[in-house]
């Protein structure tokens, strides 16, 4: 059954999904790799469609897979699919350009964070709605972090108390994200980085362990276990 998105929702979600997945090893583009028998992108879009505020979902697909992705997602939710770019940032820009008039809040969410709970989508959107122009979900850093030189010798230990690991979805007032992308020079790995360069304060909300990014084969194995447990309970 296709999940209908909320026509009164105020949130558009951009889903960059055009990456190759080099670190996952040889195979199809990462968004189409299987997790418990379904492509990562299907899991990701299903989670987004379950969030009540979501009005529009725009997926940036690998250029050669646009029609495959359209067919794959049609039974899951009504989504707009556009060809992605060579860098994550250009994929996000392509998706942003396809957002119809209406939603005032834009979230950017990696397809690779396939198990992100709808509650996290809602908490990021709620913080934007409450007046923060840019919002990111974060987790405390658990490992000790050291700065190391090119030769492998430690230069110092970083105080981790002030450090956070950053996840997606990252949420923005639409005009703020559009201005940041319009002004972007170098390709960055997250959208909040572009907004920071514009001098806009970025507000943090608690992230979720379930929003882990599937990057390497180990992460895929962890995600399989998490999903199996969620289905059991
Ligand atoms: N992404 C994208 N367009 C690109 C590169 C990345 O839309 N040109 C997307 C990926 O599909 C992913 C998200 O950005 O959902 C985060 O990127 P990452 O985890 O690095 O995915 P890949 O680039 O696919 O993986 P790798 O770097 O290992 O090749
Ligand atoms: Mg990448």
Q: Which atom of ligand 1 is nearest to the CA of 29?
A: 24
The span from the CA of 99 to the CA of 89, in Å, is 16
Instruction: Report CA(222)–ligand 2 centroid distance (Å).
Output: 19
pLDDT tops 90 at residue 233: no
The CATH class of the 11-137+164-232 domain is alpha beta
171-189 pLDDT, tens digit each: 999 999 999 999 988 777 8
For residue 58, give the ligand nearest its CA. 1
Longest Cα–Cα distance in the chain? 56
| Confidence at residue 229, expressed as pLDDT on a 0 to 100 scale | 86
Any atom of ligand 1 within 6 Å of the Cβ of 9: no
Q: Within 13 Å, how many C-alpha atoms sit on residue 137's CB side?
A: 29
pLDDT classification of 1: cutoffs 50, 70, 90 = low
Instruction: Report CA(15)–ligand 1 centroid distance (Å).
Output: 10
The span from the CA of 77 to the CA of 42, in Å, is 9
Cβ atoms within 10 Å, residue 4: 9
Q: What is this structure's pTM? A: 0.97
Atom 25 of ligand 1, residue of closest alpha carbon: 21
5-61 pLDDT, tens digit each: 999 999 999 999 999 999 999 999 999 999 999 999 999 999 999 999 999 999 999
Considering only CA atoms, which of 113, 114, 109 is closest in space to residue 124?
A: 109
67-82 pLDDT, tens digit each: 999 999 999 999 999 9
Instruction: Report CA(153)–ligand 1 centroid distance (Å).
Output: 31
In the chain, pLDDT over 70 holds for what percent of residues? Answer: 100
Instruction: Report CA(167)–ligand 2 centroid distance (Å).
Output: 14
Any atom of ligand 1 within 6 Å of the Cβ of 213: yes
Any atom of ligand 1 within 6 Å of the Cβ of 21: yes
In the chain, where are the structural domains located? 11-137+164-232
74-114 pLDDT, tens digit each: 999 999 999 999 999 999 999 999 999 999 999 999 999 99
């Amino acid at each position: 059954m296709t999940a209908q998105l909320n026509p009164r929702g105020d949130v558009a979600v951009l889903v960059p999904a055009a990456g190759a997945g080099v670190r996952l090893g040889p195979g199809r583009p990462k968004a189409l790799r299987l997790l418990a028998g379904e492509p990562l992108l299907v899991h990701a879009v299903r989670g987004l469609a379950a969030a009540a505020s979501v009005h529009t979902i725009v997926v940036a697909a690998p250029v050669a897979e646009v029609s495959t992705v359209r067919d794959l997602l049609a039974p899951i939710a009504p989504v707009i699919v556009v060809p992605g770019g060579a860098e994550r940032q250009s994929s996000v820009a392509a998706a942003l350009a396809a957002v119809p008039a209406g939603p005032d809040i834009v979230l950017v969410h990696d397809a690779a964070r396939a198990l992100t709970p709808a509650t996290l989508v809602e908490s990021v959107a709620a913080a934007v709605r409450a007046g923060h122009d840019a919002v990111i979900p974060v987790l405390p850093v658990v490992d000790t972090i050291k700065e190391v030189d090119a030769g492998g010798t430690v230069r110092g230990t970083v105080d981790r108390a002030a450090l956070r690991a950053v996840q997606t979805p990252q949420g923005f007032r639409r005009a703020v994200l559009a201005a940041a992308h319009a002004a972007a020079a170098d390709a960055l790995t997250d959208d909040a980085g572009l907004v920071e360069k514009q001098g806009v304060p970025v507000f943090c909300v608690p992230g979720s362990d379930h929003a882990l990014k599937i990057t390497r084969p180990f992460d895929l194995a962890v995600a399989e276990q998490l999903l199996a447990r969620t289905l059991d309970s």
